Amino acid sequence: MEVTLRRSAAALVARSTTISLTPFLTVSAVTAQRRDFSLSSLKRPPPNYPGHVPLSTIEKAALAIGSGIMSLRDPRRGDLIAAFAEATATPYFIYRLRDAMLSSPTGRRILRDRPRITSTSLNLPYLRSLPENTVGRTYITWLDREGVSPDTRSSVRYIDDEECAYVMQRYRECHDFYHALTGLPVVREGEVALKAFEFANTLLPMTGLAVFAAETMKKAEKKRFREIYLPWAVKNGLKAKEVINVYWEEELERDVRDLRKELGVEPPPDLREMRKREREERKRQKEAAAKGAAV
């Protein structure tokens, strides 16, 4: 009888020890799993190409919101605009643009060759020697007039797919060719008008957001944009061929008027000339008012 009781007591102690240790072991295992999950979630995957910065979905959302707000406040911050463009290009828009290139024989060649647009690759002195109406001469004349260099475009960093990253880089480096094609200057009115054109043609969210910068214009500029340049941008951006598929390096000696006709792009009214006439009119009115006051 005594032996039986001792065995029962020993079994009870062993069972209670197991019961008491099991929750501890379970909690310890869960804590370790959570710690491993936390560390793994902070660890980024390796970059997919030189300069690539992999971001999580939350990081991309934070980058998009922050850069979008700040670029609206200061449209001159090209770095913020570039970051917003990359953060909002996925998961759909940059793939749509890539597919547009893949559907075009010229676009496929661009993706295969992956040319870069720089002051060296384009040979700017040669472009200045071309006849006036050529694409190359129109481009270099626009660069010289606006004081712009093709070497100022920042590299793509936040798009994960390497081919799509090149598509964004290509769009970025072709931006000045779109300026030259349309004749729009780099003043805020011209930039917003061109972004509206690009949005209608490429659907990149960054170009659409940039159109809201029209609200920061002066009253006369806003009126002119609403009545002249926004309708022009929407009409031409929608009807034109995909401008991302232009192999600009092969079009430099071509007549720019023929290229515009082929693409379906009508140049808008000369914005610089309109602004010049507006300044002259204000000056004339000011001088007339001063003479009237003197009399």
Share of the chain above pLDDT 90, in %: 62
In angstroms, the CA 75 to CA 228 distance is 21
**Once rounded to an integer, what is the mean pLDDT over residues 204-212?**
91
Q: What is the pLDDT of residue 43?
A: 66
CB environment 184-195: b (16+ within 10 A), e (fewer): bbeebbbbbbbb
pLDDT in tens, 124-144: 999 999 999 999 999 999 999
Tell me whether the omega of the peptide bond preceding residue 268 falls within 30 degrees of 0, making it cis.
Answer: no
- The annotation status of 175 as a binding-site residue, yes or no, is yes
pLDDT-based confidence at residue 227 (cuts at 50, 70, 90): very high
179 annotated as belonging to a binding site for a ligand: yes
pTM of the predicted model as reported, rounded to 2 decimal places? 0.80
Q: Which residues contact 293 (CB under 8 A, 6 or more apart)?
A: none
User: And the tokens for 147?
Assistant: 């004081």
**Cα 195 versus chain centre, distance:** 10
**In the structure, what pLDDT confidence band is assigned to residue 10 with cuts at 50, 70 and 90?**
very low
Q: Is the pLDDT confidence value at 6 over 50? A: no
Query: Residue 4's pLDDT band (boundaries 50, 70, 90)?
Result: very low
Grade residue 17 by pLDDT with cuts at 50, 70 and 90. very low
pLDDT score, position 22: 41
pLDDT at 291: 76
Q: How many CB atoms lie within 10 A of CB 6?
A: 10
- Asked if residues 174 and 60 have their Cβ atoms less than 8 Å apart, the reply is no
Phi, psi (rounded to 5 degrees) for 255: -65, 125
Residues 6+ positions from 251 with CB-CB distance below 8 Å: 135, 259
Instruction: HSE, CB side, 13 Å, CA atoms: give it for residue 155.
Output: 7
Average pLDDT over residues 72-93: 83
How many whole angstroms from its chain centre is CA 192? 14
* Contact in structure between 232 and 268 (CB atoms under 8 Å): yes
Contact (CB, 8 A) for 48 and 54: yes
176 marked among binding-site residues: yes
Supply the pLDDT for residue 40: 46
